[in-house]
Amino acid sequence: MRRTIFPAHAAEQPGIRILEGGERARVRTEKRVAAMSSPQVSVDTLRSLEPICSLSEQRLQELAALCYVEHVSRNLDPFRARPIAGQTVYLVRGELAVTNPDGYSLVIVGGAEEARFPLGRRGAAFSGAKTITDVELLRIDDDLLDILVTWDQLAIGDAEARSDEKPSLADWTIMSGIFSISNLKYGAFSQLPPAHIEELLRRFKRIDAKAGEVIIREGAEGDYYYVIESGRCRVERQVGGVSMLLAELKSGDAFGEEALVSDSKRNATVTMKVDGKLLRLDRKDFNELLREPLLQRISMEEANRKAAAGAQWVDVRYPSEYQYDKIAGAMNIPLSEIRNAVGVLDKDREYILYCQSERRSSAAAFLLAQRGYRAYLLDGGLWGRGTERRGV
């Protein structure tokens, strides 16, 4: 329900004082109890909200585990400290007065029909807000919600269109680790253009894999890109005739991309550690739907502009090569170490990757891009600059 409140009768706004010191003036609000987070929201609550209620049951359960209810005391503006921009916000409980640009206010009551929809999304956006009672708010990142709705809608459409008895891609988007909320937001497909999502879902093939089965072998030609739906793998490489364990991969991790991106042979052997299921994409489909969309090539001129604005140069060659003709200001992260940089590099910063020919840097750029980094590839590599040299 909602009722109109005229400005003269609206609840009093939090007190504001203007303190002057020298030539500067700053605004400070009265000190009050700040917003606090409570236990996770229930699935039943999510089922009552639009458009969240359209998500699958399994997706709702996953989302509920990531959402928290925010408590805000009465007579406060809940969006002063934490603005609403970039978020989908619901009033779960309590009464909130929102002021429209034309000057009159509406009271929205948690649990009522109006509260089923995000605040400020029906009609004109509000210019101010104040809690009449203690309230509970639910905030969800706009981009995350859009990703979830997009993938689930495409998966449901795929399931309805299938007439065979093969596993539905709707099950994949819900049950697979690769299609978890975290991976859709930050993982292998986080940078995938929306236009490619449906076709990608259709072209993936699900295969069973047994413990001890070699999926890719070091030295072999690259043929497929893999994503682990369930199970675990070990990655090993021959060093001096001895097999060295490089990493262990889990559900949601991808592998096999380096050979496909750089057009080189497999540089490691990947073996199933336990029984599991893999999603497989052949080279042609990988190049069309994943490689090219994720590789953002830029010229040296554009790269220099980005670097001047704060982007970081990354040389992915061996240290001995890096020392010889590195670009001034570049850091050295060899291609073999690029996976170890995931989680260490700042996702708020842009990165420009290069090597001699573009072969190694394209693989590195893809590895970062599919994990949510803003990675750019120097078009043509250092060889593309001719005889020019910058830095020593």
Q: Which two tokens stand for residue 204?
A: 């993936």
User: Residues with catalytic annotation?
Assistant: 355
CB 292 within 8 A of CB 371: no
Q: Any residues with CB less than 8 A from the CB of 106 and at least 6 apart, and which?
A: 2, 3, 4, 5, 97, 98, 100
What backbone phi and psi angles, to 5 degrees, belong to 110? Answer: -60, 135
Q: Which residues pair with 325 in a beta bridge?
A: none
Pull the structure tokens for residue 152: 């689930």
**C-alpha separations of 78 from 74, 83, 130, 150 in Å:** 9, 8, 7, 29
Q: Which residues pair with 28 in a beta bridge?
A: 17
**In terms of Cα–Cα distance, which of 117, 200, 185, 120 is closest to 149?**
185
Structural element, H or E, at residue 150: helix 142-161
